[in-house]
Each structure stands twice: as structure tokens, then as C-alpha cells.
Amino acid sequence: MKLFKSVAAIALSFTMVMGLAACGGGDTPAEDSTGETPSGEVKTYKIATDTTFAPFEFEDENGNFVGIDIDILEAIAQDQGFEVDLQVLGFSAALQAVEAGQADGMIAGMSITEERKERYDFSEPYYDSAVVMAVSATNEDIKSYEDLAGKKVAVKVGTEGYAFADSIKEEYGFEMVVFDDSNGMYQDVTVGNSVACFEDYPVIAYGIQQGLPLKLNEKQEAGNSYGFAVAKGKNAELLQKFNDGFANIKENGKYQEIVDSYTK
Ligand code: GLN
């Protein structure tokens, strides 16, 4: 499969950048990933991510798995001297993999919410976000949440957009159609099965800029900033390395360079 091949290539390029062989690679049990080994070997961490959430993670036209999250992670891994075994699972599956100890951490445009803080420990926030409704570019009927009455609305399982739609669905009387990934959700709106979807502003605005035939509602809902996450009480060393590396790449301009390369 193209996607997984390109992910393997990324894992490999991390290895090459470090100039060291992966210690156990994908076979390293996640539970043991608590920092450097006594012999000083470089640690490899399993980091879960979403499948398609551009500009944070997506496959580019050359089949490479790229994005702000992926590049930040790579820069931090270089800065802190660890390696990454990237697991492209999908958002909800990534949440579960981290909680189950099958992955050491995740970076997936994941919003830092109070509810999630009960199950995950988060890094410093690295990107601000918001939730917004989008409709088909040609739709003139849906101008506000009131217009959703009796209609279908596409959402992505486990996300803030889902939680927001769920919180207002009784009030406005719409039905939710649930997808595993953002593309499925957008497609449901473009083919006209759902009249709208709820998605993170930076992601859907980027999609529209890239030609996705949708348009945004004027109203934006307060959203939470994105953070890197580990399971609560686990992998504190990895979280520390992420925070330390993040401070360094902000300081040396690398973080801004990465963000600009996708958003300008
Ligand atoms: N930011 C949203 C959330 O954390 C969506 C993340 C995603 O779909 N990858 O719920």
C-alpha cells in the first residue's frame, strides 16, 4: 500500500538523519519506551497519527507522508536525538492505540481538551484551532445552524467537531453521519448526502484553498489548541523531550519555517 510504504520511508529517513540503526525498530514494545536505554542507544518511539488531516498530516503528490505535525515531530526527534516509528492509524484509532499502550504518543492535530486531560498528558500547545461548519460551495440554503433541521450533518468520530455537533444536534434537530476520516466527511457533503460538516478551521480552510468545493459558515466556535499527547502518567520522558525540542525549534526558527512552508 502506497501510504504505508511512504510512512516506512519516513521512519527510514529519521533513521538516516540520525545516522544510527533503529534499536529494535517497530518491534520495540511501547511499554518499554521510557527514555534512553542504559547502554545509551537511541530510543525509537511509536507515534500514532491521523491518515489525512492536511496541512498537519497527509500524503503529498509524490506519495510522501508530510505535514506540519510530521515535520515538527521530525525536527524535534532530530533535536532531542530520538527516532520515530510513525503509525498512520486514523484519529480515533490513534487515540485508542495511545490509551492501550500500543503507541507511545500521538500527534494528529489533537485538541487539548479538559475531558481528554483525564486520559492523556499533553505537551505545550503548538497550534491554535477552532471548529467551523462547512457546506457545499454551491449550497445557498444552509446559512445557520437553524437551517440544519431535519437534515444530515457529517462528522468524524472522536473529534472536537463531532463533540460540538453532538452538543447542538437536539437543539437544531439534525442527524449525524459519522466517518472515520476527514475525506469521507467532505465527500458526503460534496455529493449532497449530508448538507454540512463540522471540522477544524485550519484544516478545512486549507482544503478549500487547495480546491475542495466547500465553503465556510461565518461563525467559528471556540476550539482548543493542538498538543502532542501521551497516555496519562506514561511516557513522561517522551513528553519532556517533545516539550524541550519544541522550545528549541521555536527558538531557532525551525517551527515557524515549517508552518510557513505549508500555510504561505
Ligand atoms: N482537533 C480535532 C480533535 O482533536 C480533530 C483532530 C483530527 O481530526 N485529527 O478532536
**Residue 143: pLDDT above 50?**
yes
Q: At what angle do helices 182-190 and 201-209 cross, to 10 degrees?
A: 60
Lowest mean pLDDT among 23-37, 145-159, 220-234: 23-37
* Residue nearest to ligand 1 atom 10, measured at CA: 159
Radius of gyration of the chain (CA): 19
- Quote the CA–CA distance of 159 and 139 in Å, as a whole number: 25
Strands 130-136 and 105-106: unpaired
User: Residues 185-194: pLDDT tens digits?
Assistant: 999 999 999 9
Q: Which amino acid is at 119?
A: R
Cα of 5 vs centre of ligand 1, distance in Å, is: 24
DSSP state of 32: G
Task: Say if residue 206's pLDDT is above 60.
Answer: yes
How far is the centre of ligand 1, averaged over its atoms, from the C-alpha of 23 (Å)?
Answer: 31
pLDDT-derived band at 37, boundaries 50, 70, 90: low
The span from the CA of 229 to the CA of 112, in Å, is: 9
How far does residue 128's CA lie from ligand 1's centre (Å)? 12
102-123 tens-digit pLDDT: 999 999 999 999 999 999 999 9
Task: Tell me: pLDDT of 1 over 90.
Answer: no
Look at residue 81 in the predicted model and tell me its pLDDT: 98
Q: Which protein residues touch ligand 1 with a CB less than 6 Å away?
A: 50, 53, 91, 108-111, 129, 156, 159-160, 200
